Chain A
Amino acid sequence: MEFDLKTIEALAPDQASLSAASKLTKRTNWPRLEKHEQQALIWGECQGSGSNPYRVVVDTGDHGYKCTCPSRKFPCKHTLALMWIAATAPASFAAANTTPEWVNDWLGRRRKTTPQPAQPVPGAEAKRIGEAAQADESTAVEDIAAEERREAAQRKRAESTREAVSAGLDELDQWIADQLRLGLSGFVDASSDRCRRIAARLVDMKAAALAGRIDEIPSRLMGLRSEERSDAAIRELGKLVLLAKAWRAAPDDPELKRLVSTSEPREQVLSSPDARQVESLWEVLGEKIESRRDGLVSHSTWLLDLKSATPQFALLLDFFPASAGRRSNAFAPGDRFNARLVFYPSRMPLRALVAERTGEVAPGAWPDFAFGTAKDPLATHASHQDAAPWIADCPLMLPPGAILLDDRGTAWWQAEDEPQGIALPIAGAVDQTLLGLDLAATAALWNGARLELLAAQSEFGRLDLA
């Protein structure tokens, strides 16, 4: 390890970064810390504020670094924390013989530079590692009266948010009634403008999550054939009515609050007694990265519980600004790891956080899931809808089947023992090779109109389909 604290001070962009980094130097923040001495590399995974851990790698030779977080500070607090641990507790790093694929990717892309002595940047002379620790201590002192004042202010803010959201939902109700009066045909054609307008109003009325959902309606409609769009519009708007009614009935329900206004902070989920915790072996099924109209990129990582007798899924969901650029993925499809997941409290818990990761496992086949005797591949979807009718995407594990083509070249999934039975249309084009494979089990998302394939098992092993 070739770090000393002076170097880290010099590299830090400002005092705030050092202070933030000091809070991340606890061992518990880092489920993985490894080093490769021949290549002069240290790397680790830091559990940041997102669902996915941030992956950080540092070249101890020339102080080159890379972190998957969206921060615009270079180096970011995660990188500084990794260096800090290397300087103060080098024994924390387990020696590795090989470098992981994501480290190799970075090494392959980067241009090696000659080592530069760390020079303080202008305006950042006052950075002191000692001060970072002091700042931490000073915040530990709490004034009871100030705490009470803060809680009162918080209650007041919550009350005013609730009033604003309630007023926003009244406007939404009126807007939906207007769309029905004017005709859904016109709504489908002008959905982009109309949805944008009501979404902007809802943002003003502090119903940001609902606004984000409405903003995505036009693209969901346009992904369908024209003759399907009216039904889809009925479904989308009807679900909004249901969600608004449910929120009015229970405005403090955490799931409904999350879907209408904002998500609770990560710490609140982790400490919630209502949050379901599952310690198991998980496989990354696939990822969905979508740019949204509100300027955010949503990054969904779907996981499958390999120890459950029936298919159980988890969703790690992160949002980051599109302007932060492309982010490296935290997981690769097919990765397996033991972890304790904490699910956001909801009727059908799906969204989760990784609370603890204990190690990676070699890939293999999925367990034989009990698909049940029900002939309906959408039975899981129907039970999700019964419990929480506002859910848009439902993960499914489909029984043995295959992908077929219709006359227009659209791909459909169909169960193997039911050539005349239900077939589900697949979103987008599929790889032609897939048409010749028997799928023993297929993990996919059903949105009420289209199936989005995530992964499958076949006689050729695992297939990445996301």
Chain B
Amino acid sequence: MRDCWITGGATFDLAPAGWKAIAGGASPDEQERRLLAIAAQALDVALRPAAPTTLKRRPPLPRLVLPILPARFRPLLRAALKHVADARRKTRVAALVASRGFVLHPMDWMPSDQTCPDVYAPWVDWQASVDGERHAPREKLTAENWDEFYPAARRLALADMRRTDPTSARMLIEAKASGEPAEVRLALVELMRFGLSAEDAPFLKSLSADRSGKVRELAGRLLARLGEHVRPSDGGPDDPVAELAAFITEGRSGFIRRRTIYTPAKLKSQAQEQRRAELFEICNLVDLIERFNTTEAEFIAGWQFGADNKADILIARMVAASGSEAALAQMADTLVAEGGKPALFVLHLMPRLDSRRKRVLIRLILKETTYLGMINLAEGIDADWLEWDDLTNGQALAALRSAAGGKDDAARRGLDDVLETIGFLATATTAAKLIDDMVEAGVPPAAPSLGLLRLNASLAGPGTNT
């Protein structure tokens, strides 16, 4: 009957006897309509969709260690997530919530990459899983069960192991890295930065023969942080370290206590500037100081900050890439002590700075006020530590108030970004106070830019867990 209707024509003769009894005794058109009505009802009531036999079920989404954010906070959370612009900032919202002991509802947010808080690693792996055959086990990572871990869980386990048992972690990376593709190898070698010590040097040196240029370069930088030279400097005209050294003038300073100073040479052309930037990128600090026959500490102490801002940035980047931990700390402290613009070059050291120095930098930016927007560039910082005093010590609060009360649209947009970042960094008390202050200064109470601050302020107090 169906085929007949599809092509067109009468179906009465094809109908079952029972249907004919109901539909018969009328005009041919009416008979067809009656049969159509019966068929429609039969399709709806008697037939069921045919389920394919190949239906596949994804493995269940794992439970995370932390509890899900209580339902009453979800409207605030959704408002905050809606307002923030990109994935990095959404991850920051998740990090703030994690710092208060909760994870987000999976339908509100799912981690998109491995930069999310560690607590989400099982979800990152769940998303990466395609066949659902493997699962992320909770036992210790070994060479035997290496393949049973998803990449994110493996990375997390190795990072943990590097902190607690760096030798075993190195041996595991040494045994397994060579069998992985270059991209994974790079990520594994990158984990060596945790708990980096002289014991790691032989392995890192062995990577100088790695197939991937990126891995060789990374291993070289890590070795440089240990004070090891990747390649001996020949001092010839083609030696990049010698070429870079030529861009730096060594001199003497002081009348009573003579000390060596290092000043960036004056450049004559754009091409020279470009070449110098390239050389700072490819050379390691350890090779450069050897060239000047000095130590990391003396070189940084003798560097003339403020003479050439671009050179200051380049040297900060070089220290961040290949300086030892001590050199990094000295550089950060020296820049902060310099104050003014050079102090903000610490931003380039940010990824390797410890939490304390990162906080010092943020406080400095808030105090200086001139470059308030730079706090948006800060990365890898903890949430939930910025106190009210940090805002009132300098002119930060006054600057925020003035932007809030002003009519300058650009300033208002800048204010929105800063409020969002502070919403992530601030303690709940600070967040609550700042909302009141900003509303008083002219920000509408329901402004989306206050969204993260509102979420932050609400996630406080004894009632949060109930």
Contact = CB atoms under 8 A, between A and B. Distances in A.
Interface string B45-69: 1001101101111111101000010
A460 B68 contact: yes
A99 B447 CA distance: 13
A242 B41 contact: yes
Interface stretch (B102-110, B183-191, B192-200, B374-382): B102-110
Interface string B14-47: 0000000000000001101110111111011100
B8 interface: yes
A234 B446 contact: no
A402 interface: yes
Contact of A231 (B43, B59, B63): B43
Contacts of B68: 460-461
A425 B50 CA distance: 9
Given A39-B445, A173-B33, A460-B68, A412 B55 contact: yes
B55 A177 contact: no
B5 interface: yes
A182 B43 contact: no
Given A107-B444, A437-B106, A234 B54 contact: no
A254 to B, nearest CB: 22
Most B CB within 10 A of own CB, among A402, A432, A433, A449: A433
B6 interface: yes
A7 B43 CA distance: 62
Contact of A460 (B57, B106, B446): B106
B150 interface: no
A417 to B, nearest CB: 13
Contacts of A423: 49, 51-52, 55
Contact of B39 (A234, A421, A433, A435): A234
A386 B44 CA distance: 10
Contacts of B107: 431, 433-434, 460, 463-464
Contacts of A238: 36-41, 43
A357 B412 CA distance: 41
A136 interface: no
Nearest to B454: A104
B45 A386 contact: yes
A174 B29 contact: yes
Q: Interface size for chain A: under 10, 10 to 19, 20 to 34, or 35 or more residues?
A: 35 or more
B45 A177 contact: no
Max chain A C-beta neighbours (<10 A), residue from B33, B48, B79, B127 = B33
Contact of A112 (B43, B63, B444): B444
Contacts of A464: 107
Given A186-B8, A389-B44, A464-B107, A108 B51 contact: no
Contacts of B36: 176, 180, 234, 237-238, 241
Contact of A406 (B38, B54, B71): B54
A421 B105 CA distance: 31
Interface residues of B, number: 49
A177 B40 contact: no
A185 interface: yes
A185 B7 contact: yes
Contacts of B55: 404-406, 412, 414, 423
Contacts of B9: 181, 183
A348 interface: no
A242 B40 contact: yes
A166 B355 CA distance: 80
Nearest to A461: B71
A142 interface: no
A101 interface: yes
B257 interface: no
B43 A412 contact: no
B287 to A, nearest CB: 49
A99 B106 contact: no
A402 B57 CA distance: 8
Given A180-B36, A234-B43, A245-B37, A103 B446 contact: yes
Contacts of B356: none
B34 A241 contact: yes
Contacts of A421: 51
Interface in A73-91: none
By CB atoms of chain B within 10 A, which of A234, A405, A431, A448 has the most? Answer: A234
Nearest to A437: B61
Contacts of B49: 422-425, 449
A438 interface: yes
B39, B43, B49, B127: most-surrounded residue (chain A CB, <10 A): B49
B72 interface: yes
Contacts of B414: none
B2 interface: yes
Nearest to A182: B8
A329 interface: no
A306 to B, nearest CB: 15
A230 interface: yes
A436 B8 contact: no
B126 interface: yes
A242 B44 CA distance: 13
B446 A231 contact: no
Given A39-B445, A404-B55, A448-B43, A422 B61 contact: no
Contacts of A104: 79, 446
Contacts of A174: 29
B32 A404 contact: no
Contacts of B237: none
Nearest to A236: B40
A264 to B, nearest CB: 27
Nearest to B60: A436
Interface string A406-419: 11000010100000
A180 B23 CA distance: 15
Contacts of A462: 71
Given A99-B446, A362-B72, A405-B55, A235 B40 contact: yes
A241 B33 contact: yes
A362 B36 CA distance: 49
A209 interface: no
A432 B132 CA distance: 14
A173 to B, nearest CB: 6
Nearest to A177: B29
A222 interface: no
B463 interface: no
A177 B28 CA distance: 9
A385 B39 contact: no
Contacts of A177: 29-30, 32-33
Interface string A355-394: 0000000110000000000001010011001100100000
Contacts of A432: 127
B150 to A, nearest CB: 14
B71 A436 contact: no
B302 interface: no
Contacts of A448: 43-44
A302 B36 CA distance: 31
A151 interface: no
A239 interface: yes
A101 B40 contact: no
B105 A460 contact: yes
Nearest to A424: B49
A184 B8 CA distance: 7
A159 interface: no
Which 3 A/B pairs are nearest by Cβ-Cβ distance?
A238-B40, A183-B8, A423-B51
19 contacts: A108-B448, A177-B33, A183-B9, A184-B8, A230-B2, A230-B6, A231-B43, A234-B5, A238-B37, A242-B40, A385-B41, A402-B57, A405-B55, A406-B52, A406-B56, A412-B51, A433-B110, A460-B61, A460-B105
Given A404-B56, A460-B61, A463-B107, 10 more contacts: A180-B33, A180-B36, A183-B5, A183-B9, A239-B37, A241-B34, A363-B71, A407-B54, A436-B106, A437-B106
